[in-house]
Copies of this chain bind each other. A is one copy, B any other.
Amino acid sequence: MIGYGFMGRAHSNAFRKVGNFFDLKYQPVLKAACGRDEEKVKAFAARWGYESTETDWHKLIARDDIDAVDVCAPNDQHLKMATAAAKAGKMILCEKPIARTGAEGEKMVAAVEKAGVPNMVWYNYRRVPAVTLAKQLIDEGRLGKIFHYRAKFLQDWTISPELPQGGAGLWRLDAKAAGSGVTGDLLAHCIDTALWLNGNINTVSAMTETFIKQRTHTLTGKVQKVSIDDACAFLARFQNGSLATFESTRYARGHKALYTFEINGEKASIAWDLHDLHRLEYFDHGIEGKLRGWQSIHVTDAGGDHPYMDKWWVPGLQIGYEHSFVHQVADFINSLGTKKPASPTFKDALETQYVCDAVLKSGKTGRWEKVKHVK
């Protein structure tokens, strides 16, 4: 495990508890935690039960007793860590987005393909049971021809101009570390789900904005230009002919982490919302006219009806955000040795990155831009 921040905790929790709930081919063993601050990484390791610590990630990767590396460092570290880990023959689980740009992502894909190592990117929302159920319903053809897709990821935590950029916890406001603002941080989630549910995107037209132009930088102590996108909205056309709107911002007062998507098909529609992640809204036009309405499905059935839920509690009892990571670990481990790698692989995540690249480019050119596709 490289990194001991928010994602370091979320992933560690998943590794620790997955075996209590899922039958696994292999049991994960927490061999080592790695971070630059020795004191902090030792405290983290102690809390989570890692057997050892490292302060230099090169040393971690060089160790023979380690089979898999989890990259939870900021985005600008992904390329070098993942390629080194691939070279060392380690399995790699990399935090999303895959990298700052498609160009970086391409090198990472090349590295894991050359090394032939299992790889995955932590787009965890695919494994929220309600979202997985949405995927099932679409794959079963229940929606028919798709007309519309719309997704948003709204937050409000950067409205204050007093908030600094850069450094621990705030590197997401620093374009150099993060690559971009809401596009790579939040829209990447929306795009990953969209590509999974609705296929590839061909073209996009975007609008980006940085509302607060300057912020103190934590590392330099100086007031510096903010280079990330505070907000980004884009129009898109999918390969299947459907139309889409996407929007993300950190300036939507009242929304903490409101990731929502809706998909409208000829025969049915689906909607989901991260603030009530255990529910899926479903409209089935096949139901008798007078009874038709949006069904609020409480995706908590243990009897086999709802994905992953037979592993948890009894119907009606919610699981939460952290469980999506547990599911992802379970799927990753149980996919090992099979011909079907757990998604999203580095390649899948690269396709998402290409969309992000096109969006950021369109935000600058003011034109519709074509999306490059993974071969």
Contact = CB atoms under 8 A, between A and B. Distances in A.
A283 B316 contact: no
Contact of A265 (B6, B233, B253): B253
B297 A296 contact: no
Interface in A306-323: 306, 312-323
Given A205-B205, A274-B317, A291-B295, 14 more contacts: A17-B17, A154-B264, A207-B237, A234-B235, A254-B268, A254-B269, A256-B298, A276-B318, A279-B293, A280-B293, A318-B318, A318-B320, A318-B321, A319-B322
A245 B246 CA distance: 9
A207 B243 contact: yes
Contacts of A150: 247
Interface string A287-308: 1011111111110110101100
Contacts of A12: 20
A256 B205 contact: no
A257 B209 CA distance: 31
How many copies of this chain are found per oligomer? 4
Given A16-B17, A293-B295, A305-B289, A148 B251 contact: yes
Interface in A123-163: 133, 136-137, 147-148, 150, 154-157, 159
Contact of A235 (B10, B205, B280): B205
B368 A368 contact: no
Nearest to A249: B148
A210 to B, nearest CB: 11
27 contacts: A6-B313, A6-B314, A10-B313, A16-B16, A133-B290, A137-B291, A147-B231, A147-B251, A148-B249, A148-B252, A155-B316, A205-B207, A205-B366, A235-B235, A251-B264, A253-B264, A253-B268, A253-B269, A254-B264, A254-B294, A256-B315, A280-B293, A282-B293, A292-B295, A313-B321, A317-B320, A319-B322
A318 to B, nearest CB: 4
Contact of A258 (B48, B156, B277, B316): B316
Given A282-B291, A282-B293, A252 B233 contact: no
Category for how many chain A residues contact B: 35 or more
A278 B273 CA distance: 14
A367 interface: yes
A211 interface: yes
A335 interface: no
The 4 nearest A-B residue pairs measured at CB: A256-B316, A257-B316, A254-B283, A293-B295
Contacts of A297: 290-293
A214 interface: no
A47 interface: yes
Contacts of A320: 278, 317-320, 323
A284 B291 contact: yes
A150 B274 CA distance: 19
A258 B207 CA distance: 25
Interface centre among A231, A245, A269, A284 (most CB of B within 10 A): A245
A55 interface: no
A19 interface: yes
A206 B317 CA distance: 28
A113 interface: no
A114 interface: no
Nearest to A49: B20
B298 A296 contact: no
A298 to B, nearest CB: 6
